[in-house]
Amino acid sequence: MVLRDSGLSNAHRQAAEQLQIALEETPNDAICRHALGDCYVKAGSYLQAAEVLEPLIDHTWQKTREKTYPLLLECYNQLAEPLKAAQIRAKMGGSPYSDNRGH
């Protein structure tokens, strides 16, 4: 995770590679899963990010869910998935019809 925050131009890509290996070894690690999804979002790999983050939608820990929803919302908006975006907005406590961008 230090690599991810290092500021290097390809840090997110390098961190994603290492986090993918870690996630394969510990698939139930929510912190690793979230960090990998965050790297994918920052790299613009929204489909990969959504696939990694979706198992956290109903995670036991509220803080994990609260940190995951905005990332998934960004993914679904970028992937033109309005139904999934609306479901996440509803879980966030907002209107499922608002796009959270002032529209």
DSSP assignment of 29-98 equals -HHHHHHHHHHHHHTT-HHHHHHHHGGGTT-S-HHHHHHHHHHHHHHHHHTT-HHHHHHHHHHTTS-TT-
Instruction: Determine how many CB atoms are found less than 10 A away from the CB of residue 94.
Output: 15
Which 8-state DSSP code applies to residue 21?
H
Helices 62-78/46-53 angle, 10° precision: 150
Q: Hey, where are the domains in the chain?
A: 11-91
For every one of its 103 residues, what pLDDT tens digit does the chain have, with 9 covering 90 and above?
Answer: 444 454 656 677 788 899 999 999 999 999 999 999 999 999 999 999 999 999 999 999 999 999 999 999 999 999 999 999 999 999 998 766 665 444 4
pTM: 0.82
Q: How far apart are CA 74 and CA 43, in angstroms?
A: 12
Give the CATH number of domain 11-91; options: 1.10.10.10, 1.25.40.10, 3.40.1390.20, 2.40.50.140.
Answer: 1.25.40.10
